[in-house]
Amino acid sequence: MYVAPSILSADFGNLQRDVEAICDAGCDFVHVDVMDGHFVPNLTIGPVVVSAIAACATKPLDIHLMVENNTFFVDLFAPLKPEYISFHIEEEKHPHRLIQKIRSLGIKPAIVLNPHTPPESIEYLLGDLDMVLLMSVNPGFGGQSFIESVVPKAKKLSAMRDKINPNCLIEVDGGVSNKNIQMLKDAGVDIVVAGSYVFSHKDKKEAIASLKI
Ligand code: DX5
Ligand code: ZN
């Protein structure tokens, strides 16, 4: 299991310290939540702060867009050369075109599904994706409870992925901890995002290690 701590739960007064701490503690990616106050009822960070994160991160960035105008934000963040940019299928009229655009910028394209969105909605996009991110909370905030229906959904998506595009990774985001990591692993999940679980631990190495099963 790969682990991508979400910097949403970091101490923003000590952002460099916290980004370095998770990288030193063995995370695989740094998950960056970009919220615009329109698609979700919260507002986070833009390219100025994300470039400061990129400058001190020794692990690749996984940028999760929760915004209304995806193409505009892809153009803003592409110069930072993240590993992944993921966008919500619920907010995109032309997802295939945007996947092509992200790939043409040398970035791995990923699609995010909200808790209500069925995996079948991306059946014809799966062949062109490097990752699918399943939300296990409603997007917008850290520290929410895990929505269990993501487990059968991940199983269904995993079977589709094995048939259509075995190289496509499955990521789960929200309420992840050592309590649900085994069921996510069993459901075929490859990457977990964990915000409050990792940052509430004094020993980040131990917290990350407990998810790397
Ligand atoms: C929620 C974000 C998550 C969030 C996860 O909209 O996408 O990445 O930071 O935080 P936890 O792990 O605390 O649920
Ligand atoms: Zn996220």
Per-residue confidence at 110, pLDDT binned at 50, 70, 90? very high
Which ligand gives the minimal distance to the CA of 174?
Answer: 1
Percent of the chain past pLDDT 90, that is, above it, reads 100
Q: Which of 22, 30, 33 to mutate to test the pocket of ligand 1 (most atoms within 8 A of CB)?
A: 33
Spacing, Cα 133 to ligand 2 middle (Å): 9
For strands 61-66 and 131-135, give the pairing: unpaired
Supply the pLDDT for residue 132.
99
pLDDT of residue 77: 98
At 164, the pLDDT band (50, 70, 90 cuts) reads: very high
Q: Which residues line ligand 1 (CB under 6 A)?
A: 6, 8-9, 31, 33, 64, 137, 139-144, 173-176, 193-197
CA 9, 62, 213: angle at the middle one, nearest 5? 75
How far, rounded to the nearest angstrom, does the alpha carbon of residue 194 sit from its chain's CA centroid?
A: 9
| pLDDT for residue 89 | 98
Say what the pLDDT of residue 150 is: 98
Calculate how far, in angstroms, residue 88's C-alpha sits from the geometric centre of ligand 1. 15
Q: Which ligand is nearest to the CA of 7?
A: 1
Model confidence, pTM: 0.98
Cβ neighbours for 163, distance < 8 A, ≥ 6 positions apart:
none
33 tagged catalytic: yes
Q: How confident is the model at residue 44 (pLDDT cuts 50, 70, 90)?
A: very high
Confidence of residue 56 (pLDDT cuts 50, 70, 90): very high
Give me the pLDDT at residue 90, please: 98
Tell me: the pLDDT tens digits for 111-132?
Answer: 999 999 999 999 999 999 999 9
Question: Looking at residues 170-178, what average pLDDT do you find?
Answer: 99
Single-letter code of the amino acid located at 107 = I
Q: Whose alpha carbon is nearest atom 9 of ligand 1?
A: 142
pLDDT value, residue 138:
98
pLDDT at 112: 99
Q: Assign residue 140 a region: left if phi > 0, alpha if psi is -120 to 50, beta otherwise?
A: left
Residue 109's closest CA among 117, 94, 186? Answer: 94
- Using alpha carbons, list the distances in angstroms from residue 145 to 93, 115, 158, 161, 192: 30, 12, 23, 27, 15
